[in-house]
Amino acid sequence: MSEFGTLESRVRRKSLLSKVMKAADTVPMFKSGQNLLWSGFTPAGYPKEVPIALAEHVEANKLQGKLKFNLFIGASVGAETEDRWAVNDMIDRRWPYQTGKNIAAGINAGRIRMGDKHLGLFAQDASYGFYTENGRYDIGIIEVSAITEDCGLALTTSCGIVAEALHLCDKIIIEVNTGQPSFEGMHDIHMQQKPPHRAPFLITAADTRIGTPYVPCDPDKIVAIVESKRRDKGRAFAEEDDTSEAIAGHIMEFFQHEIKMGRLPENLLPLQSGVGSIANAVIGGLAKGPFRNLSVYTEVLQDTMLDFFDGGNLLCASSCSLSLSETPGFPRFFDNWEKYFSKITLRPLSISNAPEPIRRLGCIAMNTPVEFDIYAHANSTLVGGTRMINGLGGSGDFLRNGYIKLMHSPSVRPSKTDPHGITCVVPKAPHIDHTEHDLDVLVTEQGLADLRGLCPRDRAKKIIEKCAHPEYKPILTDYFEMAKKETLAKGVGHEPQLFDRAFKMQLNLAKNGTMKIKNWDIKIDLCE
């Protein structure tokens, strides 16, 4: 017996106990080419036993590339599942967001056909049946904490797209996780109707609840119950450093100024923070700040959100996922269960990222791009305009609809040969996920550029002045002045660009390992 209860105690609809089996016993249910729907969202709440059993089956029988599936998940899941599947060439199509070096390699080598989408829209469109030929999924594999007497599913550490798309699954396999406490009661599940019958989301505060703790499920579709004791392999985060602390400092000064100007209340407005180490570190810096009685309405809760709670300045948090690190995040959460549990609400992705509550609550959106250009177009997905990293995620849901839309990034990143070889402020982003229409504020450790009310040329001056690294500031200034002079002379200078040299810094990086160019002369191909 687990210290967290038995399978029998968690499955309260007793007729389902006749469907209990080992994960390996489910393998014959799977056929190559099937469309699979998983629970999970940013390594949290995903199935583990069945995907691992399938990977072991492929490895034992040398079926790499012969047993392949189309995989639809709310966002990324643990590397021990989808990244292992990528190693075994088990993924044909993958929507809409992933993490792991092997799955990324498969996508960029063309072995895996990935589609990207704003996560809030993906959740909605998945429920409409947009992503498969017949609008359905062959098998859904869902991790839960418990199953109620009337077959309501109490999910675990995330909601993902389970509530939106479970009804489209022909068969369902349930993994009941008894290796951790039950999360029953943390979720707020609201089942939506399709247009034109959708009703408003009556969420007026981050902790407003509008649904029930359970996802309804047809018991006749459940073909297997598998017990799991595996915990989430949450992502590890880099420690706060001088760069992230400086970024957080600039953001806090900005918030204080907005309060002084009467544009923000003293307890701010609900905060949204994106995924990853930089976002996590920035929240850690804000947790040390002077603001009190705060709330969070976001899609992912990371480790430093616990610092916010512990400091007494965060009252409540709404999210789609509890995406903590495997250590120390989850152990810290479990050790302080009573402190955190009642303050957190987990919602389906189509609600956590819906424009309606984001705009009504006035969320302050804070996300990290790969880079942004001097006119405030941001690239969040494709390095060099072609190499997929993870995916768009939900940043656009919040950046399009928030009260203040902010992106933060280091001003530079190291290349293989130069510690400052890559500038995150470029003349033109080689791929654009968020346009200048969506962004209000850009921040690096160098400073903060408030772009509200500025025309493109004034934005460029402000971004170069406030955000660019000193080693790149004169290079970017030279480009801007040259582009401005040439385009204004031709009467086409609203947003000056010179397309014969706008990407010269990226070309120099590819050839010489640094974005530091000596000049913008188009007669010289590249600078050594």
The one-letter amino acid at 357 = P
Asked if residues 487 and 480 have their Cβ atoms less than 8 Å apart, the reply is no
Pairing of strands 152-155, 215-216: antiparallel
Burial degree of 327 (CB within 10 A; 0-12, 13-18, 19+): exposed
pLDDT at 527: 58
Between CA 29 and CA 479 the distance in angstroms is: 60
Structure tokens at 84: 């292992």
pLDDT at 474: 97
Q: 164, 175, 258, 299: which is the annotated catalytic residue?
A: 299
Between CA 196 and CA 391 the distance in angstroms is: 30
Structure tokens at 119: 């996560």
* Omega cis (within 30) before 96: yes
Between CA 303 and CA 15 the distance in angstroms is: 39
pLDDT of 526 over the 80 cut = no
pLDDT of 1 over the 50 cut = no
Q: Which domains does the chain have, with CATH numbers?
A: 7-228 (3.40.1080.10), 242-469 (3.40.1080.10)
Between CA 46 and CA 160 the distance in angstroms is: 9
pLDDT of 411 over the 90 cut = yes
Of 125, 336, 118, nearest to 344 by C-alpha is 336
Residues 6+ apart with CB under 8 A from 134: none
Asked if residues 181 and 231 have their Cβ atoms less than 8 Å apart, the reply is no
Average pLDDT, the chain: 95
258 catalytically annotated: no
pLDDT at 272: 95
pLDDT at 275: 79
Structure tokens at 105: 């390699």
| Percent over 90 (pLDDT), the chain | 89
Per-residue pLDDT tens for 320-379? Answer: 999 999 999 999 999 999 999 999 999 999 999 999 999 999 999 999 999 999 999 999
C-alpha dist (Å) from residue 434 to 326, 341, 381, 439:
31, 34, 10, 8
Residue with tokens 């399938």: 54
CA 202 to chain centre: 24
Per-residue pLDDT tens for 148-195? Answer: 999 999 999 999 999 999 999 999 999 999 999 999 999 999 998 899
Pairing of strands 422-423, 35-38: unpaired
Per-residue pLDDT tens for 228-277? Answer: 999 999 877 777 788 988 999 999 999 999 999 999 999 999 999 987 77
381: left (phi over 0), alpha (psi -120 to 50) or beta: alpha
pLDDT of 315 over the 70 cut = yes
Asked if residues 90 and 68 have their Cβ atoms less than 8 Å apart, the reply is yes
Structure tokens at 439: 């962004």
Instruction: Please give the full DSSP string across 446-494, using - where no structure is assigned.
Output: TEEEE-TT--HHHHHHHHHHHHS-TTTHHHHHHHHHHHHHHHHHTT--S
pLDDT of 74 over the 90 cut = yes
Claim: this prediction has a pTM higher than 0.75: yes
Using DSSP's 3-state secondary structure scheme, residue 171 falls into: strand
